[in-house]
Structure 1
Amino acid sequence: MIVTATPDLVLDVLDAADPVTQRAAAAKLDALKSSDADFAATMDAEVGKARTATADQAAKAAETQSTAVNGAPVQVIKAPASGEVYRKFEAFILQTFVETMLPKESEQVFGKGTAGGVWKSMLAEQLGNQLAKGKGIGIAKQLAAANPAAANITGKAGS
């Protein structure tokens, strides 16, 4: 028996879908298929409809000041504290150092196979973070001193 993964996966998802939504999607696809319109033009029109719908939803969300799940797609992302990026970088370097220092034959402590490797990596990550929260080894301080202007830059996400 030959099993093709992609069609089987698509059919499984289709079978799990809501029957009403499934019929509506099939009807939309049939309508697009039966028209002789250019595919690119049809897609451009659908994108325009989606953008209009998104803009209408954003306007409604702004008017009502609601916190609905489908509200405006803009989120404010706080910039990390000054030096926090350097501390995280130092923690990553320390994690690498600690992971190489941990014993290779430690199946009795961490377990065997992939699970043991994951536990070992998690331990090294936490040790690296704790070491970096203290005085660390000075990587963060040197990077912050070498690039003092970066601590004052505040940028927007996605720009």
Structure 2
Amino acid sequence: MIVTATPDLVLDVLEAADPVTQRAATAKLDALKSSDADFAATMDAEAGKAKAATADQSAAKLAETQSTAINGAPVKVIKAPASGEVYRKFEAFILQTFVETMLPKESEQIFGKGTAGGVWKSMLAEQLGAQLAKGKGIGIAKQLEAANAAKAEAAANADAVAKAG
């Protein structure tokens, strides 16, 4: 079976787009069009303006969880995961490597041959490791969390002693 790419892919996407969005994009491209300037230079200049505007906006709205980008679309700030979740994912990764080494080496009839078989085997090990860590796991996450809490408490006590003395 031969698949041929549509030569007017951009036009097909443009026709499928929302008409209001299409007109806005066309207007922006028309505004960027200049008969005497190089298109690449114009795009680089516009990208520089957008970068500067984004830097100004992020400095002004650092504390907000959402800000507005150049085109008005909302941008979500991603929060760091809880520390327990990080340890659980680490434990899942360790369990994945354990499970992957325990799976049979000659398993072409189960997983397939070559790279595809290796990918399927790796995906199975990843899911098994995640499920094993989801419950009580084997205790790696708990030990790391306790060690980190003790380290943070010792640092807080050292800071308190330094401020008092």
- TM-score tier by shorter-chain length is 0.5 to 0.7
**Pair 1:90 & 2:91 matched:** yes
The 1:52/1:107 distance shift into structure 2, 3 A limit, reads closer
CA distance in 1, matches of 2:146, 2:111: 39
Where does the alignment leave 5 or more consecutive residues of structure 2 unmatched?
149-153
The 1:80/1:29 distance shift into structure 2, 3 A limit, reads closer
Task: Name the stretch that deviates more: 5-14 or 134-143.
Answer: 5-14
Does the 8 Å CA contact 1:95/1:125 hold for their aligned counterparts?
yes
The 1:120/1:37 distance shift into structure 2, 3 A limit, reads closer
The 1:99/1:151 distance shift into structure 2, 3 A limit, reads farther
Q: By how many angstroms is 1:136 displaced?
A: 1.2
Does the 8 Å CA contact 1:83/1:151 hold for their aligned counterparts?
no
The 1:157/1:38 distance shift into structure 2, 3 A limit, reads farther
Q: By how many angstroms is 1:134 displaced?
A: 1.5
Q: Could you report, residue by residue, the CA deviation over 1:83-120 in whole angstroms, capped at 9, with x for unpaired residues?
A: 00000000001000100110000000000011100110
CA distance in 2, matches of 1:150, 1:5: 61
Does the 8 Å CA contact 1:95/1:124 hold for their aligned counterparts?
yes
% identity of equivalent residues: 92
Does the 8 Å CA contact 2:65/2:77 hold for their aligned counterparts?
no
CA distance in 1, matches of 2:31, 2:70: 30
Does the 8 Å CA contact 1:61/1:71 hold for their aligned counterparts?
no
Q: By how many angstroms is 1:81 displaced?
A: 2.8
Higher RCO (CA < 8 A, seq sep 6+): 1
Does the 8 Å CA contact 2:53/2:70 hold for their aligned counterparts?
no
Q: By how many angstroms is 1:76 displaced?
A: 2.0
Q: By how many angstroms is 1:34 displaced?
A: 12
Does the 8 Å CA contact 2:68/2:75 hold for their aligned counterparts?
no
TM-score (norm 2): 0.52
Q: By how many angstroms is 1:123 displaced?
A: 0.4
* Aligned alpha-carbon RMSD (Å): 7.9
Equivalenced residues, count: 156
Runs of 4+ more than 2 Å apart: 1-74, 149-152, 154-158
CA distance in 1, matches of 2:164, 2:7: 38
